[in-house]
Structure formats: structure tokens, C-alpha cells
Amino acid sequence: MKLRIAAIGRIRSGPERELVDDYISRCSVAGRAIGLGPLTETQIDNRSLKTQTDESRALAESLGGDIKFVLLDERGKAFKSPDLARKLGQWRDGGCREVVFCIGGADGHDREALPAPDLMLAFGPAVWPHKLVRVMLAEQIYRAVSILAGTPYHRE
């Protein structure tokens, strides 16, 4: 089952770029033997997108068919890491082809321009900057894959 982060805005360089790239590559290695990955990233260039609705439409167009759609939103459900891992494992075992995790831009999502999500995932009720959300999401996906792979990365 492929894994993908789709995000509004491009992170070209800097500490967030380095962290996201590191988790993406670690995740793709850890998931290889257990049918998860690669983890990839779609960065949506929003320089010519004028409104939140334009951004959400562009996100919707990038999704593709036959996917599980995870919307990142502070109003969503917070998951313990092992529970997120379990959810990904269930989707993989159920024959899901790809999971796409979507992060909005500075103004968030226009829900009417997006399909209904299979899961709305929150990293708590606080609003985080979208670049940090991308780093945290890449890490949590890597953590979930590590849990399913049985590696010692995650500790409780």
C-alpha cells in the first residue's frame, strides 16, 4: 500500500525540508518488507492559487482514485501512535492501494471543495504551522510503519 503526503505549498530547503526528506526515506526503507510504501510527497505550488477554495480544489485534483483520504485538521481525531499504526495495517490488509494524507495552507481547507475524508486526523486541538505539520506527519507515518515492522523505534 503506497503512502503519500499531499500538501499546499512548497518546502524547498531548510530544516523542515531536511526532516521531511529524512523521515520519507527512513519510512520507505522500513515499510519495504511489510507491503507499506514508498512514502512520497506531492507539493502543490500555491503561488497562483488565490483562495482557500482554489487550494482545496487543487488538493482534490491531486488525490487520484481508489485511495483512503486522510485530512489533517485540528478539529479531527487525535490518535495514539500504535492506534494510527493499527489503522494503516487494517487498510493495507483490506487491499487499499494508496493512503493520501492532506495538509492545508495558511487558511486551512475548504471542506466543500474536498471529498469526504475516510479519516480526519488531528495533532491535538492547537493550530500548528503547516510546515511543522508536514514534519510531524512524516514522522508519525514513519513511526506507524516502524511499529508495524516491529522495529524498536517506537517505545512506550
Ligand X SMILES: C[S@@+](CC[C@H](N)C(=O)[O-])C[C@H]1O[C@@H](n2cnc3c(N)ncnc32)[C@H](O)[C@@H]1O
Annotated binding site for S-adenosyl-L-methionine: 72, 104
Which among 17-25, 39-47, 106-114, 147-155 is the span making contact with ligand X, rule CB under 6 A?
106-114
Asked whether position 41 contacts ligand X by CB under 6 A, the answer is: no
* Burial tier of 3 (Cβ tally within 10 Å: 0-12, 13-18, 19+): buried
Segments in the chain forming alpha helices (H): 15-31, 52-62, 81-93, 130-149
Asked whether position 107 contacts ligand X by CB under 6 A, the answer is: yes
Site residues for ligand X, 58-97, by CB under 6 A, read: 72-74
Binding site for ligand X (CB under 6 A): 72-74, 103-104, 106-109, 122-124, 126-130, 133
